[in-house]
């Protein structure tokens, strides 16, 4: 599931100056969506590149009557209408103006906004979800129980967006029922809270990998090969690196060049990842050949405990260098290998701590990510394959 952060910035926030400050803080933090009134869409577009959702003019008016000069990505019904309680809910939802707008043949409205004021509004949100691509629900006195109910009932009918006022509430929304909402609608002016909510989103999206120990069975000098350094746009910590390897079923953890040495300055944005043929793991769980990487691509960064995040490739350096062939064996006898540059700056995690490839010995144990299945254009497939 891809999580997202929406930022509420309609006229309830204040005048345009107050809204602009909130939106700017959101853009700097990296929010995915901004929810504004239709009249502000063009101004938001001028502030930066972000998805824009816009409230319609109200339940009794069709969208076209208040159409902005610049279209939003999504129109949202419910403000000043039935969704927020301004207009009473009809006894029979078939007579709902908000739902009628969602059902229009031109499908200009793809989002619904509902304040959960009672069980009736919870039922109304459920009905709206059957028509809307995005269903925004804002709890009042009760927040968790209605959200649990909607997550359980709506399933994959819509993207469920839960209203929150803090990063802590966003974390709860993303974890509710172990499934969580697809997104949160954040209502705050605090730049730190906005930034922390984006961090919560990122954390919720990260997978944790089970890294295994495998025993080194061979460390051999080979000839030269075209070696790839992956320089990212992010600084990596001392315990972080990437997963690379010659065989798809076993990827070696290789540390980023964070260590200082008497002869070479640290390069904490870089992983010296091996030869051009090797795989590197990507954030979507796939792989790419090192030779394929280019500026702007995403790669997965992992720490020695298996926690992951993504980084953007800034540059790829390919140079001919002398190499080592490193082979390891798992407890069940399966063996995998890779080529790594013969240089003291390339470090791998062992049971005895971080170690240079040049110091590796048979019997050392390395961190390796083991994965079943073969690879076809970077995707895991269930088929028989022999790699040697």
**Per-residue pLDDT tens for 309-329?**
999 999 999 999 999 999 999
pLDDT at 377 over 90: no
Tell me if residue 377 falls in helix, strand or coil: coil
For residue 59, pLDDT beyond 90: no
Pairing of strands 298-303, 308-329: antiparallel
Query: CA 148, 181, 173 angle in degrees (round to 5)?
Result: 70
pLDDT reported for residue 375 = 46
Rounded average pLDDT over 101-119: 84
The span from the first CA to the last CA of the chain, in angstroms, equals 35
The number of helix segments (H) and strand segments (E) in the chain equals 7, 22
pLDDT in tens, 191-247: 999 999 999 998 888 889 999 999 999 999 999 999 999 999 999 999 999 999 999
Residue 107 in this model has a pLDDT that exceeds 60: no
Which range among 13-22, 49-58, 70-79, 82-91 shows the weakest confidence by mean pLDDT?
A: 49-58
d(CA 322, CA 347): 16
pLDDT tens for 151-201 read: 788 767 799 999 999 999 999 998 886 678 899 999 999 999 999 999 999
Query: 219-237 b/e with 16+ CB inside 10 Å = b?
Result: beeeeebebbbbbbebebe
Residue 107 to residue 178: CA distance in whole angstroms: 32
Beta carbons of 132 and 108 less than 8 angstroms apart: no
Q: Which range (68-77, 131-140, 275-284, 285-294) has the least confidence?
A: 68-77
Interatomic CA distance for residues 268 and 231, integer angstroms: 9
* Contact status, residue 138 vs residue 185, Cβ threshold 8 Å: yes
Range picked from 38-52, 55-69, 106-120 for highest mean pLDDT: 38-52
- Per residue in 248-264, pLDDT (tens digit) is 899 999 999 998 877 78
How much is the mean pLDDT over the chain? 89
What would the mean pLDDT of 336-360 be, rounded to a whole number? 96
Per residue in 279-294, pLDDT (tens digit) is 999 998 999 999 999 9
For range 107-111, the mean pLDDT: 78
Sign of CA dihedral 5, 285, 320, 329: positive
Q: Report the C-alpha gap between 180 and 288 in whole angstroms.
A: 30
pLDDT for residue 57 is more than 70: no
- Residue 381 pLDDT greater than 70, yes or no: no
Residue 237, pLDDT score? 96
Mean pLDDT of 290-314: 96
Question: Which residues does 134 contact at the CB level (< 8 Å), separation at least 6?
Answer: 53, 74, 76, 110, 111, 112, 158, 159, 161, 183
Distance from chain centroid for Cα 17: 31
- pLDDT of the residue at 192: 97
Q: Residues 347-363: what's their mean pLDDT? A: 96
Q: What is the pLDDT of residues 4-25, one digit of tens each?
A: 999 999 999 999 999 999 999 9
Q: What pLDDT is recorded for position 13?
A: 95
At residue 46, the 3 state secondary structure works out as helix
CA distance 359 to 369: 22
Q: How much is the pLDDT for 109?
A: 78
Closest CA to 168 of 132, 142, 144, 193: 193
- The predicted model scores a pTM of 0.74
| Token pair belonging to 91 | 């006894």
Percent share of the chain, pLDDT over 70: 89
Residue 157: the pLDDT is 79
């Amino acid at each position: 599931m891809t999580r997202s952060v929406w930022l509420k910035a309609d006229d309830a926030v204040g005048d345009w100056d107050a809204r602009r400050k909130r939106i700017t803080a959101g853009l700097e933090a990296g929010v995915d969506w901004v929810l504004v009134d239709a009249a502000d869409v063009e101004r938001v577009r001028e502030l930066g590149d972000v998805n824009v959702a816009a409230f319609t003019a109200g339940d009794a008016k069709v969208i076209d009557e208040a159409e902005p000069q610049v279209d939003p990505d999504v129109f949202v019904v419910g403000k000043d209408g039935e969704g927020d309680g301004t207009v009473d809910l009809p006894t029979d939802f078939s007579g709902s103006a908000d739902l009628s707008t969602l059902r229009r043949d031109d499908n200009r409205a793809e989002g619904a906004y509902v304040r959960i004021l009672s069980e009736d509004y919870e039922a109304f949100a459920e009905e709206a979800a059957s028509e809307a691509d995005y269903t925004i629900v804002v709890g009042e006195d009760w927040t968790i129980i209605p959200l649990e109910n909607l997550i359980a009932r709506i399933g994959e009918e819509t993207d469920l967006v839960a209203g929150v006022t803090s990063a802590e509430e966003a974390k709860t929304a993303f974890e509710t029922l172990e499934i969580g909402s697809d997104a949160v609608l954040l209502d705050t002016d605090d730049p730190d809270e906005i930034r922390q909510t984006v961090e919560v989103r990122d954390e919720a999206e990260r997978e944790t990998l089970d890294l295994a120990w495998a025993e080194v069975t061979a460390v051999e000098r080979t000839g030269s090969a075209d070696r790839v350094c992956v320089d990212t746009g992010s600084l990596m910590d001392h315990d972080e690196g990437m997963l690379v390897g010659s065989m798809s079923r076993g990827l070696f953890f290789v540390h980023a060049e964070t260590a200082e040495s008497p002869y070479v300055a640290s390069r904490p944005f870089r992983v010296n990842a091996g030869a051009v043929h090797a795989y590197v793991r990507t954030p979507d769980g796939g792989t790419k050949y090192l030779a394929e990487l280019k500026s702007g691509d995403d790669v997965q960064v992992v720490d020695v405990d298996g926690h992951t995040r993504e980084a953007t490739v800034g540059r790829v350096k390919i140079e001919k260098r002398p190499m080592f062939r490193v082979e390891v064996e798992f407890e069940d006898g399966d063996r995998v290998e890779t080529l790594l540059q013969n240089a003291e700056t390339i470090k791998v995690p062992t049971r005895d701590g971080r170690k240079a490839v040049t110091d590796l010995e048979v019997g050392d144990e390395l961190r390796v990510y083991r994965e079943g299945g073969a690879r076809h254009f970077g995707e895991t497939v269930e088929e028989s394959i022999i790699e040697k």
